[in-house]
Chains A and B, each alone.
Chain A
């Protein structure tokens, strides 16, 4: 076997779901040869104390993310619509509970 120049393998992002039906959350990353190996490594690194009931692994290169530079314009459509928030609407005094 020839000497491997890179002993670290591709990078995978790890998302773990804690119990109680909560959504998956980014936990960190692992290096692994393939998806199955990445799942095993993710379990050993991010789930040693029952922190997860389910794990996703995704090749880091496959993740598309918004960039800090276009943060303003990219999120503008949402920020401009104050009427999406309940505080936008006035409730007559005396009405406490909906």
Chain B
């Protein structure tokens, strides 16, 4: 019943493929690739695309209540960028022979995964600052690495995204700076946002290397160039100085600088919380999905109108030609 796992032909092609990865070559859509490589990419890229789309929701929540026109324009532009990022990555995933419709259906059906961070609520305006600073900051660390991924379309989408994320991080940090230098109440609001977003941001890099089931394969095939723990450490090292500069306190009593390694050593991450949120029991999992479904259903008339308009124009053009 089980076909032979690998014919001599497949073994040769697999060896050639791995040699290409070892030489640092870019794999393109029509190139031969192991089925596992394709599946890992579809899994990772679709989760990434979904995260961009769901990521619009916590921030969209504050567009109407942004404290000034300048902040509102920035936030609108940022949320529009996130939609664009979702489209870049869906488009990259489609080069692997997946239809976007399938992916959208999986997201709406609740069977697709996306970054857990977006299942936390945005309770105050400072949360918009913390998201830009920490969540986009963490995303930049991750995506800068992915811009060198072995799969060409994914890497190229990441290059485009990285250029735009810097604006996101800066607008977020500027909000934090302004609040941290404001009234005591404003500063407390900034600190509260940091307290709530710090640990979920560290969790964004995924489980520790020893507990990450997909890491070995992704590293072996050059989809990822650095491990979850390496990236997490890099993010912490970069961020501490930014918190100090605006006199905010990282909510980790065990945090200390290690001279020997040059790293900031942080306390234990609550992985129970991480898995709880991944498995659907975060503060906003249901709300996010409901909002996404409503947005999709509300957009139905726009899609119907565009389709009808295109059909009418095609008919008119055909009539004119006759």
How far is A1 from B313 in the complex, measured between Cα atoms in Å?
A: 19
B310 touching A7, Cβ below 8 Å: no
Q: What is the total number of residues of chain A having a CB less than 8 Å from a CB of chain B?
A: 21
Q: Which residues of B contact A30 (CB under 8 A)?
A: 87, 91
Contact of A28 among B30, B91, B99 (CB under 8 A): B91
How far is A6 from B313 in the complex, measured between Cα atoms in Å?
A: 20
A8 touching B91, Cβ below 8 Å: no
Q: Which residues of B contact A45 (CB under 8 A)?
A: 84, 87-88
A to B contact number (C-beta, < 8 Å): 54
Q: Of the 9-residue stretches B173-181, B268-276, B301-309, which lies at the interface with chain A?
A: B301-309
A33 touching B99, Cβ below 8 Å: no
| B258 at the binding interface (Cβ < 8 Å) | no
B28 touching A7, Cβ below 8 Å: no
| B94 at the binding interface (Cβ < 8 Å) | yes
Q: Which residues of B contact A29 (CB under 8 A)?
A: 91, 94
Contact of B157 among A7, A8, A28, A34 (CB under 8 A): A28
Q: Which residues of B contact A48 (CB under 8 A)?
A: 80-81, 84
How far is A9 from B99 in the complex, measured between Cα atoms in Å?
A: 11
| B111 at the binding interface (Cβ < 8 Å) | no
A1 touching B304, Cβ below 8 Å: yes
B310 touching A68, Cβ below 8 Å: no
| A11 at the binding interface (Cβ < 8 Å) | yes
Contact of B307 among A9, A44, A49, A65 (CB under 8 A): A9
A4 touching B303, Cβ below 8 Å: yes
B157 touching A6, Cβ below 8 Å: no
30 A-B residue pairs with Cβ-Cβ distance under 8 Å, sorted by A, are: A1-B304, A7-B101, A7-B303, A8-B99, A8-B104, A9-B306, A11-B94, A28-B88, A28-B92, A28-B156, A28-B157, A28-B160, A29-B91, A29-B94, A30-B91, A33-B306, A33-B309, A33-B310, A34-B313, A37-B310, A44-B84, A45-B84, A45-B88, A48-B80, A65-B30, A67-B30, A68-B28, A68-B30, A68-B31, A68-B32
Binding site for B on A (CB under 8 A): 1, 4, 6-9, 11, 28-31, 33-34, 37, 44-45, 48-49, 65, 67-68
